[in-house]
Structure 1
Amino acid sequence: MPNEIAHVDALEILDSRGNPTVEVEVALRNGSVGVARVPSGASTGKNEAVELRDGDPTRFGGLGVRKAVENVRTILSERVLGEDATKQAAIDALLIEADGTPGKSKLGANAILGVSMAVARAAANSVGLPLYAYLGGATARRLPIPMMNVINGGKHAGNRLAFQEFMIVPHGAPSFSEALRYGVETFRALKRELERRGLPTAVGDEGGFAPDLESDEEACELIVEAIERAGFTPGKDVAIALDPAASSFFSDGAYDLASGERLDREALLDLYARWVKTYPIVSIEDGFDEADWDGYVAQTAAIGDRIQIVGDDNYVTNPKFIAEGIRRKATNAVLIKLNQIGTVTETVAAIELARTAGWRSVVSHRSGETEDSFIADFAVAFGTGQIKTGSLSRSERIAKYNRLLWIERQLGTQALFSSPFIAGDQAD
């Protein structure tokens, strides 16, 4: 059997924060090889699949992944050797069965995902197809609108900003390559504006600037200024997306902002509504604590007909929680992160469930990334139309954008690129 898995190996490598993570290599009988590197998040939902860390304080402060690596080399390797790499769902089922826990805590979601992704890559190489075409089939040709994190706060930066991500969305561009240019030119204009105001231009975990601003709203004002200085029209050419990651600044029933304000749910809801009227915001992700379902429901009811409301920490790419969100009408979109659930097959199931509800999906990186560009192909494969993969600096972020440029080149005139946002309104 030419696609038979012949060898599985793993290595402890470093992610973009210098923390250990897992790299997996899968080799097939016919000589095809697939390599995958697993990312890691800082702002995590409590129901995410479990990253297995060694806990040895004498190595990497307990963050080593030797146990996960060994699990790949032994238990997981034994389960998949001899299997047909093109049978992704069957292999992922074997990996899940080998762990046997709901959150993949026994063997580690980092170990399991590494194998799952590497198998997909090996199979794509074996049949001579780009990963996006192998996973998505002949109709996979939609390039995603990039959501580019240009100002970092929260757990991604050492400043006072409560909101974690302030992003630009160059949705008015005619192609992905032009969208990338819009983003780069706006990012550079933002840097010049920060320098003009005497603010630092050091970057955070995801490559965005991390100035110590007086308030979260000031970040929106700066971005609008940068869009205009770059020669673009705010809203029409380049819009704003927010990821407050509100769980990180929620305590004792209230939300603490950079300005010193302490807001209850209703006051925060009003703040978002006011900002949407004031700034060209097209998407808000994790606007409330992950357990604050009433906040999400109220926000979607109030402004979900005008902007995209994205759930992340409350869904953790898990069909079980996405189904609950659909039942409650809690959001109208879901963030998709492979390492939140732990296998390629389960991630695809999450996208398919969201699609049946008429929801959008946004494929996303993690703050602790690697140079692996798997999610670029993944976004095109399943036509999600949106991707979050960081700012316009740091090579682990740029690797995904550069991969999308190659995919656009390969697709040529068959490439599709269209905005889900029209003049700030929600549109299919």
Structure 2
Amino acid sequence: MSSNQITDIKAREIIDCRGWPTVQVDVYVDGKLTGRADVPAGRSTGIHEAFVLLDGDQKRYRGLGVRKAIANIVGEIKNAILGLNVTEQRKIDQMMIDLDGTPNKQRLGANAILGVSLAVARAGAFACDVPLYRYLNPFGHVLPVPLMNCLNGGKLTANYLEIQEFMVLPVGAESYAHALQMTTEINECLRELVIEKYGILATNTGDEGGFATPMKGIWEPFEYMQRAVEKAGYKVGFGEDIVYGMDCAASHWYDAKSGLYTLDDKQFCRDELIDLYKQVAAAYPLGSVEDPIDEEDFEGFIKVTHELPQTQIVGDDLFVTNVDRLRLGVESQAANAMLFKVNQIGSLSQAMDAAEFAYRYSYGVQVSERSGETEDGLISDLVVALNSGQIKTGMPIRGERTSKHNRLLQIEEELGSSAVYAGHNFRRPR
């Protein structure tokens, strides 16, 4: 009979989709490898995120190596949790947090702690002989609406778009498989339109699979998405097949000294920028907007949430999957949804706590990948376990993105008739 005791932990430096080093962790239970997980990394990061421990040796990977984090995993962390029952997720996570002893995990590194946390979860599911989503929540059954990243800008690519992502949401699909079909067809139509206008080189892609075109501003991307949706034979609108989304990542084009945002060579004060968003929402069905205002401007988030009542306002850099930051938002009614990124907070238990806190106050939860991903599809299990109804994991191209979509197709098949596609209820599927 298995004791479910952790008997060994191994870790190594691997490469993410950008060629940057990241952490992979193996957890052994009763002498057998039963849990493995990779740690994602972001390029567009918020200032309040947990600390990623890098080596800083400019002669190796230009300082981006993670050997220090690896050493902490196979050293202090391993020594602290050997012999523990692998199914005691919360206890193990808390032990690592206490061992680190800093508010943002800067001593051991959030990348070290998270790698172990996720691998322990996988090993726990293996010990219980259930899929990870069922291990985390026996009642997980909601398949999410994918926010498909059609056009990339900002820090995700090298072009003229300040706004980081322009997305389509297939809310009218019948299933996740159908949603994937719809968005793939739309993406192919968009590819044809981009080639027609800008040439084949404009179909190069950014970090998350969206086209890195020479488009500018905010209006042209919507025009092309609209044309692509119509060319694919779908209808746009609330209650129809498709609505749109944006990740503005506004902090990256905000100047704190002047208090101005620079978009398409024009400067906007906060109220002028919100007026621009209102114009877009009047012209197109805007289902979701992420980080439309600087991450430190709670008052701005309050205003944009009030001014765009039909649109989900998502806090990414604003909340960083952190209950304390989210509590500030709830108390002031800033935004109405939280982006869920496990590596922003650095442990699975804390990330799940943030999601539950969001649900308690009727905030949506949008599960998201990072720009630096691997083939690990773990967040697909997380989004179903959370019943969150929405996931942002890039266009279905390249292995680090298709792994997430393909895992969701597997889960949908496993759930069978109990699977529910969130669809038009993606903001409140629970």
- State the match for 1:167 in structure 2: 167
Match of 2:317 in 1: 313
Contact map agreement 1:187 1:226 (CA 8 A) in 2: yes
Q: Give the structure 1 partner of residue 192 of structure 2.
A: 192
1:279 matched residue in structure 2:
284
SS at match of 1:223: helix
Alignment of 1:129-140 (within 5 A): 129-137=130-138, 139-140=139-140
Q: CA deviation at 1:426?
A: 8.6
Matches within 5 A, 1:207-226: 207-226=209-228
8 Å contact from structure 2 (residues 389, 425) kept in 1: no
Q: What is the DSSP-based 3-state SS (H/G/I as helix, E as strand, rest coil) of the residue aligned with 1:92?
A: helix
| CA displacement at 1:420 relative to structure 2 | 4.1
Do the aligned partners of 2:388 and 2:429 also contact (CA within 8 Å) in 1? no
Instruction: Quote the Cα distance in structure 2 between the aligned partners of 1:32 and 1:204.
Output: 35
> How do residues 294-313 of structure 1 correspond to structure 2 at under 5 angstroms?
294-303=299-308, 305-313=309-317
1:255 to 258, 261, 265: 261
> What are the equivalent positions in structure 2 for 1:174-189 lying under 5 Å apart?
174-189=174-189
Amino acid at match of 2:132: L
Query: Is the CA contact (8 Å cut-off) linking 2:389 and 2:428 kept in structure 1?
Result: no
> Contact (CA 8 Å) 1:254, 1:264: kept in 2 or not?
yes
Map Cα deviations across residues 294-341 of structure 1 (whole Å, 9 max, x no partner): 1100011111x3110100101000000000000010011110000000
**What residue in structure 2 maps to residue 25 of structure 1?**
26
C-alpha contact (below 8 Å) 1:282/1:421 kept by paired residues: no
1:113 aligns with 2:117: no
SS in 1 for 2:105: coil
Match of 1:9 in 2: 10
- Structure 2 distance, partners of 1:302, 1:426, is 20
SS at match of 1:133: helix
Is the 8 Å Cα contact of residues 141 and 411 (structure 1) preserved in structure 2?
Answer: yes
Query: For structure 1, which runs of at least 5 residues remain unmatched after alignment?
Result: none
1:141 maps to 2:141: yes
Residue equivalent to 2:61 = 60
Paired residues of 1:3 and 1:30 also in contact (CA < 8 A): no
> Which residue identity lines up with residue 23 of structure 2 in the other structure?
V
**Match of 2:388, SS?**
coil
Normalization by structure 1: what TM-score? Answer: 0.97
Distance 1:162 1:173 in 2: 30
Output aligned runs, 1:15-414, within 5 Å. Answer: 15-29=16-30, 31=32, 33-137=34-138, 139-199=139-199, 200-235=202-237, 236-251=240-255, 252-257=258-263, 259-303=264-308, 305-414=309-418
Identify if the C-alpha distance between structure 1 residues 30 and 64 changes in structure 2 by more than 3 Å, giving closer, same or farther.
Answer: closer
- Show CA shifts across 1:346-384 (max 9, x none): 001000000010111001000011111110000000101
Alpha-carbon distance in 2 for matches of 1:31, 1:384 = 33
Quote how far apart the aligned CAs of 1:391 are: 1.2
Q: Is the 8 A contact 1:333 1:360 kept in 2?
A: yes
Offset of residue 208 of structure 1: 0.7
Question: Is the Cα–Cα contact under 8 Å of residues 16 and 369 in structure 1 kept in the other structure?
Answer: yes
Question: Aligned-pair distance for 1:421?
Answer: 5.0
Distance in 2 (alpha carbons) for counterparts of 1:336 and 1:2:
33
Structure 1 pair 247–336 and aligned structure 2 pair: CA distance change class (3 A):
same
Contact in 2 for aligned 1:307/1:426 (Cα 8 Å): no
1:358 aligned counterpart, secondary structure: coil
Q: CA RMSD in A?
A: 1.3
| Alpha-carbon distance change, 378 to 427 in structure 1, aligned in 2, over 3 angstroms | closer
| Contact 2:369-2:393 within 8 A present in 1 as well | yes
Shift, 1:392, TM fit: 2.2
In the alignment of these two chains, the number of paired residues is 423
Is 1:32–1:123's contact at 8 Å kept on the other side of the alignment? Answer: no
- 2:14 match: secondary structure: strand
| Contact kept? 2:50, 2:345, Cα under 8 Å | yes
Assess if the C-alpha contact under 8 Å between 2:171 and 2:242 holds in 1: yes
Closer, same or farther: CA 266–103 of 1 in aligned 2, 3 Å: same
Give the distance between the partners of 2:428 and 2:283, measured in 1 at CA: 17
User: Does structure 2 conserve the Cα–Cα contact (< 8 Å) formed by 1:389 and 1:400?
Assistant: yes
What amino acid is aligned across from residue 195 of structure 2 in structure 1?
Answer: E
Give secondary structure in 2 for the equivalent of 1:197.
helix
Q: Deviations over 1:211-243 (max 9, x none)?
A: 011322211111111111111111211211100
* CA-to-aligned-CA distance 1:86-109 (integer Å, 9 cap, x gap): 010000001101111000000100
The percentage of counterpart residues that share the same residue type is: 43
SS of 2:111's equivalent in the other structure is: helix
Question: TM-score if structure 2 supplies the norm length?
Answer: 0.96
Superposition deviation, residue 261 in structure 1: 1.1
Q: Which amino acid aligns with 1:152?
A: N
**Given that residues 360 and 384 in structure 1 are in contact (C-alpha distance below 8 angstroms), is that contact kept between their aligned partners in structure 2?**
yes
